[in-house]
Chain A
Amino acid sequence: MARVLFFGRLSDAAGTEELLIPLPAHAGHLSDLKLLLVRLHPELGVALEDPTIRVAINQKLAPVISDPEIFDRDEIAFMPPMSGG
C-alpha cells in the first residue's frame, strides 16, 4: 500500500490527511497516482494540478517539473507552499 499524505489546504480537497492506496506491483509514475486520485476526488484533481504544489517521495522532495517513479511501498506527500517561522 502506498501512503499518500495531504498537507495544508490539500487535506480539505482530499477530505482526509492520509490515504492508503494499493498500487500495481510494477513501478508506476506520479501521474498514474494523480489520475487515480482524481477519480476518487474530482476536487483534488484540480487542486493537485496547481503548479505551486510540491511532492515528496519517501520524504525527499521531487524536482518541480517531474513525474517520478513510485512504488507500492512508498510514502507520497502532496504539499502546498510552505510557511514556517
Chain B
Amino acid sequence: MIRIQVEPFDESEAFTLRRGRADVGGLVSFTGYVRDFTQSADVTSLELQHYPGFTETEISKIVEKARGRFEILDCLVIHRYGRMLPGDPIVLVSVIAVHRDAAFEAARLIMDYLKTDAPFWKKEIGASGERWIEPRADDHAARAEWAEQEKTKP
C-alpha cells in the first residue's frame, strides 16, 4: 500500500502490516526524518512538492520493482508532502517477508529508489527566502548500484 499525504503519520503504522498474519518471519521498517538545517543557519522549514497522480504511479513502480526482485509478503510506503520541520518524519517504508534477507533488501531498494526516482521536489524556507534543493550525489550512486545489479543478473 502506498499513501501520499500532507498529514504527519504515526511510525507505529509500520507494524500494522503484520496484523492477522502468522506467516511473517520478519518485518523491516525505515523512517526518514527532516534533519536540522546545518548548512543554512536561517532555514526554518522544508517544503515538499509532489505531482498528484504521477507521484503515486511512480512510487508504485518502485514497489513493484522490489516485489519483482525479492520475495516479500507485503509492503507499506507512507510519504508526506507539504511543509515540514526538523525532526518531522517524512517517509515510512515497512516490509514483511518470510525471510529476513528479503525484508532488509526490499526496504533498502525502495528507499534508494525513492531518493532519486520519486517525484518530489524539496525547498528550504527561511528568513532570507526559499531555495530548491538538488538531490545528493550519494543518493544517485546508491540507486545506480541497484541498476548495475539488475544488468548482471542471469
**A17 closest partner in B (C-beta):** B49
0/1 per residue, A16-39, Cβ < 8 Å to B? 000000000000000000000000
A66 within 8 Å of B (CB atoms) = no
Count of A-B residue pairs with CB < 8 Å: 67
Q: Given the known A-B contacts A5-B51, A59-B53, A77-B54, are A82 and B91 also in contact in the complex, defined by CB atoms under 8 Å?
A: no
Main secondary structure of the interface of A (DSSP, over half): loop
Task: Kindly list chain A residues whose C-beta atoms are within 8 Å of the C-beta of B57.
Answer: 59
Binds A, one of B21-29, B37-45, B94-102, B133-141: B133-141
A79 within 8 Å of B (CB atoms) = yes
Task: Kindly list chain A residues whose C-beta atoms are within 8 Å of the C-beta of B134.
Answer: 80-81, 83
Whether B51 lies near A7 (C-beta < 8 A) is: yes
Whether B51 lies near A85 (C-beta < 8 A) is: no
A84 within 8 Å of B (CB atoms) = yes
Task: Kindly list chain A residues whose C-beta atoms are within 8 Å of the C-beta of B53.
Answer: 59
Task: Kindly list chain B residues whose C-beta atoms are within 8 Å of the C-beta of A8.
Answer: 49, 121, 123, 132
Task: Count how many chain B residues have C-beta atoms less than 8 Å from C-beta atoms of the other chain.
Answer: 28
Task: Kindly list chain B residues whose C-beta atoms are within 8 Å of the C-beta of A79.
Answer: 51, 119, 121
Could you tell me the distance between the alpha carbons of A23 and B151 in the complex, rounded to whole angstroms?
41
**B62 closest partner in A (C-beta):** A84
Chain A nearest Cβ from B133, distance in angstroms: 7
A interface bracket (residues with beta carbon within 8 Å of B): 10 to 19
B11 within 8 Å of A (CB atoms) = no
- B: residues with CB less than 8 A from A are 32, 49, 51, 53-54, 57-59, 79, 90-91, 111, 114-123, 132-136, 139
- 17 A-B Cβ contacts within 8 A? A7-B49, A8-B123, A59-B53, A61-B58, A79-B119, A82-B119, A82-B121, A82-B135, A83-B136, A84-B79, A84-B114, A84-B116, A84-B117, A84-B118, A85-B32, A85-B115, A85-B118
